[in-house]
Structure 1
Amino acid sequence: MLSTPLKRMLFGLGDEHVIVDPASDQLLHPEALIAFQRLSRDARDAGFSPKVVSGFRAFDRQLLIWNAKAQGQRPVLDSEGNPLDIGQLSERELAFAILRWSALPGASRHHWGTDFDIIDASAVTSDYTVQLIPQEVADDGVFGPFHRWLDNQISAGNSYGLFRPYAEDRGGVAPERWHLSYAPRARELQELLSVERLSELLRESDISLGAAVCEHLQDIYTCFIWVPDHCYPSFSEQL
């Protein structure tokens, strides 16, 4: 059985485990923030200016996003980023379509503060509206040069334990080149995030499509939540 503080941390039910990044006002796990600050130092030396644009996200916030999409108040996109007609989808199909781009409440890695989304602030003007879409982070996109540099840092083991959990399309979450995770703590928390614990949480919430989600939760967990061991950097890369 999880202790109350650990349960609050795992599911984003509190923010006691995160601190403010003074450069962005976003909340991050303290160890993730240290790793990001070290990476940022190297990036600045290379001519970039990394900035966190989305850090810790509470369960309630993730639930609002999910319910708005499930109820047609926000667009639900296909794999190419085009809006879907959700009226033509079954509840299962709709849930899986939402999961392509948005995490299930209670299962978002953003709950932990170990995961965050970044941009290169030096590549855009202060009034630029960040969208966090594939076109921005493609090699020829506005943030492409920064991410090519980051590719090299991660592959060389020079990213201080930070890696991309959604670097490739494994048939679940769409690739998110902008999403970084602090491996040492994130891996520990992922081990605690079981189907049974998540099911108990969701059954007590007012999540839309709840019956369909719980019915297919094992498939959702395998396809959209669990990040395989081989995706995590080795111990030497976490130093």
Structure 2
Amino acid sequence: MQLIPDGRLYGTNEQGLVDAEGILLTPETLAAFSAMQQAATAEGIDLRICSGYRSFERQQTIWNGKASGRRQLLDKYCQLVSPADYTEDELVQLILIWSALPGCSRHHWGTDIDVFDAAMISRDDLHLIPAEYLAAGPCHQLYQWLLEHAAGYGFYFPFQAGLSGVSPEPWHLSYFPQSGDYLAAFDIQQLTTLLQNSELRLKGSVLSQLDKLLDEFVYRVAPPPA
């Protein structure tokens, strides 16, 4: 198993990451992505990253925004809903359909990326919703290409229908030669301490059911290719 810098599992340490046009990744993830990007370019696809490493603080901002109603909150059907209509426990589950709990995001690791086809849609117009990647969506060709070729470069889709607690995300790729080690090293006690000392909204609800949330939304992901 690779040596993982302290704090990297939970988004509190950027040590060892490299900058790829403003996006931080592990060196291995960047090298593999660059090779995949070059292959996609040869087939007319402008493969770009819109999100890589994300800190605990950034993920907490996203979480708190959804919990408070300051950011859009979507249900599993991608319909806009109001946090006022749910109990705290229900709201925690609802947020986790699309957004990770701070400290639990795979984006903390530098091995996971969100991608899009810049030849078909601009970063400013991208919403990262399934419709953009499915039939008739601007990133459909990219998604189909990745289904066929991503594994050859070490990437796969960890969030798939029926295989993950998180809803399917056809834009989210994981560099599985490294991300598997990160998942195996995850420690609930370290996470609990971090959350207890955080400014997380819905903290009481989260901590009271943390074991269950980790089982469903962290550990339950699609297996990488054999």
The structure 1 residue matched to 2:65, chosen from 68, 76, 79, is 68
Residue 211 of structure 1 is matched in structure 2 by 204
The structure 2 residue matched to 1:231, chosen from 220, 223, 226, is 223
For this pair of structures, how many residues does the alignment match?
A: 224
Given that residues 53 and 116 in structure 1 are in contact (C-alpha distance below 8 angstroms), is that contact kept between their aligned partners in structure 2?
yes
How many angstroms apart in 1 are the aligned matches of 2:108 and 2:138?
Answer: 28
Partner deviation per Cα, 1:119-152 (whole Å, 9 max, x = no partner): 011123x575111111101132111011111111
The structure 1 residue matched to 2:177, chosen from 184, 192, 206, is 184
How many angstroms apart in 1 are the aligned matches of 2:162 and 2:113?
Answer: 19
TM-score with structure 2 setting the length: 0.93
The structure 2 residue matched to 1:43, chosen from 23, 40, 45, is 40
Given that residues 6 and 13 in structure 2 are in contact (C-alpha distance below 8 angstroms), is that contact kept between their aligned partners in structure 1?
no
Amino acid at match of 2:205: A
Q: Does 1:101 align with 2:98?
A: yes
How many angstroms apart in 1 are the aligned matches of 2:224 and 2:85?
Answer: 37
Query: Using a 3 Å threshold, how does the CA distance of structure 1 residues 30 and 75 change in structure 2: closer, same or farther?
Result: same
Q: What stretches of structure 1 of length at least 5 have no aligned partner?
A: 235-239
Given that residues 99 and 173 in structure 1 are in contact (C-alpha distance below 8 angstroms), is that contact kept between their aligned partners in structure 2?
yes
Indicate the SS of the match to 1:7: coil
Partner deviation per Cα, 1:46-88 (whole Å, 9 max, x = no partner): 1111000111101000011111111121121111111223222
Partner deviation per Cα, 1:137-196 (whole Å, 9 max, x = no partner): 113211101111111114xx42x1111111324462111000011101111011111322
Q: Give runs of aligned pairs for residues 107-122 of structure 1, distance below 5 A.
A: 107-122=104-119
Amino acid at match of 2:70: Q
Given that residues 165 and 227 in structure 1 are in contact (C-alpha distance below 8 angstroms), is that contact kept between their aligned partners in structure 2?
no
Structure 1 segments of 4 or more deviating over 6 A? Answer: none
Given that residues 9 and 17 in structure 1 are in contact (C-alpha distance below 8 angstroms), is that contact kept between their aligned partners in structure 2?
no
Q: Give runs of aligned pairs for residues 121-132 of structure 1, distance below 5 A.
A: 121-124=118-121, 126=122, 128-132=124-128
Query: Using a 3 Å threshold, how does the CA distance of structure 1 residues 201 and 146 change in structure 2: closer, same or farther?
Result: same
Indicate the SS of the match to 2:73: coil
Two-structure CA RMSD over aligned residues (Å): 1.8
TM-score with structure 1 setting the length: 0.88
Q: Does 1:20 align with 2:19?
A: yes
Given that residues 25 and 53 in structure 2 are in contact (C-alpha distance below 8 angstroms), is that contact kept between their aligned partners in structure 1?
yes
Given that residues 68 and 83 in structure 2 are in contact (C-alpha distance below 8 angstroms), is that contact kept between their aligned partners in structure 1?
no
Q: Identity over the aligned pairs, expressed in percent?
A: 35
The structure 2 residue matched to 1:137, chosen from 127, 133, 142, is 133
Amino acid at match of 1:193: F
How many angstroms apart in 2 are the aligned matches of 1:113 and 1:72?
Answer: 28
Q: What stretches of structure 2 of length at least 5 have no aligned partner?
A: none
